[in-house]
Amino acid sequence: MTRLRLDDTIAAVATGPGEGAVGMVRLSGPQALAITRGLFRRRRRRGAWQSHRLYYGLVVDPRTGRAVDEAMAAYMRAPHTYTRQDVVEITGHGGAAGVREILRLAIAGGARAAERGEMTLRAFLSGRIDLAQAEAVLDAVRARTPGALSLATGQLAGGLSRQVSAVRCDLVAVLAHLEATIDFSEDDVPPADPEVLAAALAGAGEALAALLETARAGQVHRDGVRVAIVGRPNVGKSSLLNALLQQERAIVTPIPGTTRDVIEETLDLQGVPAVLLDTAGIAETGDVVERLGVARSQEAALGADLALLVLDGSRPLGEEDGVVAALIRRRPQPCGALMVLNKADLPAVVDDEAVAPLLPGAPVVSVSSVTGAGLTPLREALRAAALGGISLDGQESVVSSARHRYALERARAALADAAGALDAGLPADCLCTDLRACIAALGEITGESVTEDVLTEIFSRFCIGK
């Protein structure tokens, strides 16, 4: 497998596809500078290439002498680079043909085409970053809101890694002492004090529990939520979508059945990326196309993370409102739901108390899609429901990955087993077995104990060139 090699030189396009102001090809490896010398002609050729300096010149096909592009080249000498290898970045004009030609010449000159995420994989393998930080690179690239980006940069700076490593180091020390008492029982190694052991295990357990408390909110910031806007026809679902987005995205008419398919749009809920799904009105209909739209609305209501039941506050509740509410009640827990009393600009016919039985316990927000009244409280209620009432303000370490969450849950379970073995007075060998399992699970987060298959799965999600 080529992915775990560090002795060759790789090259990839490091900028996005399509047209742009500039396009960059990045090389990393021991022959990065030699390959660059073969295809890049500096305008001022005096002196050796200096590290971390930008050079202006032409990219030239060595076989024909034909100029491919006017470009800038930056040479960065190891170990002060992203991968801790020699790195060269050649930046030309942003057309797709130009960067493809530069990449072709780099590969012809001796480089190998990089695989997905291989630049960041080399940064991990060289020890510049740990595995949690490497995953944060992808999170930063994919962040859809400032809040998601902030979490990614915090993890990239090592916030989560420091806390996980601190717990792991404490447990490694406990394990080392226990193993010493077993291996050198005839020597002067003092036996482990049960009270000291219990305190160490309890402290580690509290630290893991605190991290896991951030997992739901962290994953929501990272991955976002899907919010299905559902209700009977003509309660103002599309108008509400347009009001939340502050643009005319959905067609609005007084004719029932105007919306016949699910419309998706993204909204930033104070750092939480939300995909709003505007659905067709759920009602009995003889129209074949409308029936397809209703079926898709039902699928969206059942499959979304949050359901927003829209009711017309200016009209009495009808049988169709109860049908839609019953559909939402079928959703799996802990999926959330809210109710919106729309058309608050008109005289109110129903109030919060009247609609409460439809979805017991669900928050109710009165809004007007026409005037905008109530939209801010609605956004706040949506955000609170998405986060489960958990705030990440002031949190240095946040769990935002399902992989990290699963590893922490296994670590906490193994730690609980160790504590149970200690309480039961079992031999130290039993505690050691559980502690090793806990330490291994924590090591999966930062990369101390991780298989090649896991690395392949993680880095295959990256783009080529990152």
| pLDDT single digits (tens) 167-208 | 999 999 999 888 887 766 555 667 778 888 899 999 999 999
Higher pLDDT, 328 or 416: 416
The one-letter amino acid code at 384 reads A
Q: Which residue has 């899609």 as its token pair?
A: 369
| pLDDT single digits (tens) 342-377 | 999 999 888 888 889 999 989 999 999 889 899 999
Mean of the per-residue pLDDT values of the chain = 85
Q: Which residue has 């609605």 as its token pair?
A: 378
Would you tell me which CATH number, out of the four given (3.60.15.10, 1.20.1530.20, 3.40.50.300, 1.20.1560.10), belongs to the domain 223-387?
3.40.50.300
Residue 147's SS3 state is: helix
| C-alpha to C-alpha distance for 170 and 206, rounded to whole angstroms | 13
The model's confidence at residue 112, banded by pLDDT at 50, 70 and 90, is very high
Which sign, positive or negative, has the C-alpha torsion 269, 274, 275, 278? Answer: negative
Alpha helix locations (H) across 16-63?
Answer: 32-39
Rounded mean pLDDT, 134-145: 89
Topology, domain 136-214+397-446:
Four Helix Bundle (Hemerythrin (Met), subunit A) (1.20.120)
**CATH number corresponding to 10-129:** 3.30.1360.120
Contact status, residue 301 vs residue 222, Cβ threshold 8 Å: no
Question: The pTM is what?
Answer: 0.81
| C-alpha to C-alpha distance for 373 and 98, rounded to whole angstroms | 52
Domain spans of the chain?
Answer: 10-129, 136-214+397-446, 223-387
Torsions phi, psi for 264 (to 5 deg): -110, 135
